[in-house]
């Protein structure tokens, strides 16, 4: 058997193979997912040069090719905007890096709306720690012009979502509603190959991800809830361990694979959470639910929240279903 035949499906093959079973399938969704893979490869190539970009930036804003040095999160944003605009599949997009939504001209517009955080984990970009891109895809409302309301759709209306982690390898995870599948970028061929199929989030929490230094700003239920989780560790047996990278998408990916709970409660200084509903919480909540997990805040599914603003922030508990439900109950007692 040739070496190539040992590889899993490519991302494109997987997307095409699933096209027929998707209720939204008209070819454009498949093309769009494939193009997000292309953007992921381009961003990954830049992330792998991150230290050099930083170096060039520090020495005068021009790299060895004489190009102007941009910040990496700006490069990631511009790459996604450019690739999605040219794809012919997108009518509008919203990004963490853009104040307002972007409408695609009618000549290039397609059927979908894409929301994204181009490079999540801003505090980790300059220090070689894993970061990622998060995306969510909605259908554009039919027979009406694009407006802010076209973007402010609840997460339960997502038709697909996913993320790309730039870590020890570059990994793309996506779902179009049926299953959650995982693809790893082979740097030598430049292809994403399937490395996990139908990922299920483990039912038991083995990892806890929370910024414990926010304790002074937590609501009163958080500390006793964490203490309860920690009592699962007995004298001789550690069941649960702390893991917090500070890049939501990377923390989530590890938790999805290994069984972990991520918490970012509402902060008393601001009266709201830190994480953005539309392009951070909703896509990850969609992936979590399809993988058998859950995502809640204040007694509501994250996916049921009606967004009121593009950059709205909310509290988040996301992870194995039974513990997310327990936390949600304790948070309302
Ligand atoms: P960002 O989108 O500017 O990167 O901010 C979101 C990030 C999340 O990735 C991460 O989990 C969180 O902020 C960490 O926040 P904190 O430093 O308050 O713990
Ligand atoms: Mg972010």
Kindly identify the ligand whose nearest atom is closest to the C-alpha of 245. Answer: 1
- If DSSP codes are grouped into helix, strand and coil, which group holds residue 274? coil
Neighbouring residues of 135: CB distance < 8 A, sequence distance ≥ 6: 36, 80, 114, 115, 116, 161, 162, 163, 279, 283
Q: Whose CA is nearest to atom 11 of ligand 1?
A: 248
Angle at 50 between CA 45 and CA 54, to 5 degrees: 145
State both tokens at 50.
């991150």
- Model confidence at 182: pLDDT above 70: yes
State both tokens at 226.
């964490």
| Residue 18 confidence (pLDDT) | 86
pTM (2 d.p.): 0.94
Region 124-148 average pLDDT: 93
Question: Which of 143, 134, 139, 145 is CA-nearest to residue 110?
Answer: 139
Helices (H), 48-91: 50-60, 72-87
Instruction: Please state, for a pLDDT cut of 90, what percent of the chain lies above it.
Output: 82
Of residues 126 and 131, which shows the higher confidence score?
131
Q: Is the CB of 122 under 6 A from ligand 1?
A: yes
- If DSSP codes are grouped into helix, strand and coil, which group holds residue 289? helix
State both tokens at 83.
């690739």
Q: Is the CB of 281 under 6 A from ligand 1?
A: no
Q: How far is the CA of 65 from the centre of ligand 2 (A)?
A: 30
| Mutation test residue for ligand 1: of 247, 313, 318, the one with most atoms within 8 Å of CB | 247
Q: DSSP character for 19?
A: H
Provide φ and ψ at 73, rounded to 5°. -70, -30
Region 292-300 average pLDDT: 95
| Residue 39 confidence (pLDDT) | 98
Q: Is the CB of 118 under 6 A from ligand 1?
A: no
Domain boundaries, the chain: 3-196, 207-332
**Residue 1 confidence class, pLDDT cut points 50, 70, 90:** very low
Q: How far is the CA of 144 from the centre of ligand 2 (A)?
A: 30
165 in Cβ contact with 250 (< 8 Å): yes
CATH code assigned to 207-332:
3.40.190.80
State both tokens at 44.
């990954």
Q: Is the CB of 246 under 6 A from ligand 1?
A: yes
Q: Is the CB of 211 under 6 A from ligand 1?
A: yes
Angstrom distance (rounded) from CA 183 to CA 196: 7
Q: How far is the CA of 221 from the centre of ligand 1 (A)?
A: 22
Q: Is the CB of 244 under 6 A from ligand 1?
A: no
Kindly identify the ligand whose nearest atom is closest to the C-alpha of 72. Answer: 1
**Residue 37 confidence class, pLDDT cut points 50, 70, 90:** very high
- Each residue of 223-275: pLDDT tens digit? 999 999 999 999 999 999 999 999 999 999 999 999 999 999 999 999 999 99
- Residue 76 to residues 72, 128, 137, 173, 325, Cα–Cα distance (Å): 6, 16, 18, 18, 35
Q: How far is the CA of 52 from the centre of ligand 2 (A)?
A: 23
Region 10-36 average pLDDT: 85
- Each residue of 41-86: pLDDT tens digit? 999 999 998 777 766 666 556 655 566 667 888 899 999 999 999 9
| DSSP-assigned letters across all residues of 99-119 | SS-EEPPTTT--SEEEEEEEE
| Residue 25 confidence (pLDDT) | 58
Angle at 175 between CA 173 and CA 181, to 5 degrees: 50
Provide φ and ψ at 61, rounded to 5°. 70, 10
Q: Give a three-class secondary structure readout of 224-264.
A: HHHHHHHCCCCCCCCCCEECCCCCHHHHHHHHHHHCEEEEE
Kindly identify the ligand whose nearest atom is closest to the C-alpha of 247. Answer: 1
Kindly identify the ligand whose nearest atom is closest to the C-alpha of 279. Answer: 2
- If DSSP codes are grouped into helix, strand and coil, which group holds residue 316? strand
* Dihedral angle, C-alpha 271, 272, 274, 279, nearest 10 °: -160
Tokens 């909540």 belong to residue: 285
Q: Is the CB of 274 under 6 A from ligand 1?
A: yes
When the pLDDT of each residue in the chain is averaged and rounded to a whole number, the result is 92
Tokens 């989780």 belong to residue: 229
User: Domain 3-196 class?
Assistant: alpha beta
């Amino acid at each position: 058997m040739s070496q190539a035949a040992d590889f899993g499906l490519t991302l494109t093959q997987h997307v095409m193979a699933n096209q027929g079973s998707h209720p939204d399938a008209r070819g454009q969704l498949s093309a769009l997912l494939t193009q997000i893979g292309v953007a992921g490869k381009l961003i990954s190539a830049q992330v792998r040069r991150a230290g050099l970009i930083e170096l060039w930036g520090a020495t005068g804003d021009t790299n060895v090719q004489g190009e102007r040095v941009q910040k990496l999160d700006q490069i990631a944003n511009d790459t996604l905007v450019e690739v999605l605009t040219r794809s012919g599949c997108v009518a509008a997009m919203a990004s963490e890096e853009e104040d307002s939504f972007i409408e695609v001209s009618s000549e290039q517009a397609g059927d979908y709306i894409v929301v994204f955080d181009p490079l999540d984990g801003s505090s980790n970009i300059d220090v070689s720690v894993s970061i990622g891109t998060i995306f969510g895809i909605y259908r554009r409302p039919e027979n009406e012009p694009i407006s802010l309301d076209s973007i402010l759709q609840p997460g339960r209306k997502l038709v697909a979502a996913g993320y790309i982690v730039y870590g020890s390898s570059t990994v793309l995870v996506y779902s179009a509603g049926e299953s959650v599948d995982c693809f790893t970028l082979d740097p030598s061929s430049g292809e994403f190959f399937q490395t996990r199929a139908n990922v299920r989030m483990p039912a038991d929490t083995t990892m806890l991800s929370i910024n414990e230094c926010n304790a002074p700003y937590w609501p009163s239920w958080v500390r006793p809830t964490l203490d309860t989780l920690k009592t699962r560790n007995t004298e001789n047996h550690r069941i649960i361990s702390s893991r917090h990278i500070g890049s939501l998408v990377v923390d989530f990916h590890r938790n999805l694979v290994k069984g972990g709970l991520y918490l970012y409660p509402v902060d008393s200084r601001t009266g709201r959470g830190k994480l953005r509903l539309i392009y951070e919480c909703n896509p990850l909540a969609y992936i979590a639910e399809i993988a058998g997990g859950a995502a809640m805040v204040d007694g509501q599914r994250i996916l049921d929240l009606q967004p009121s603003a593009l950059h709205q922030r909310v509290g988040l508990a996301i992870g194995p279903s039974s513990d997310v439900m327990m936390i949600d109950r304790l948070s309302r007692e």
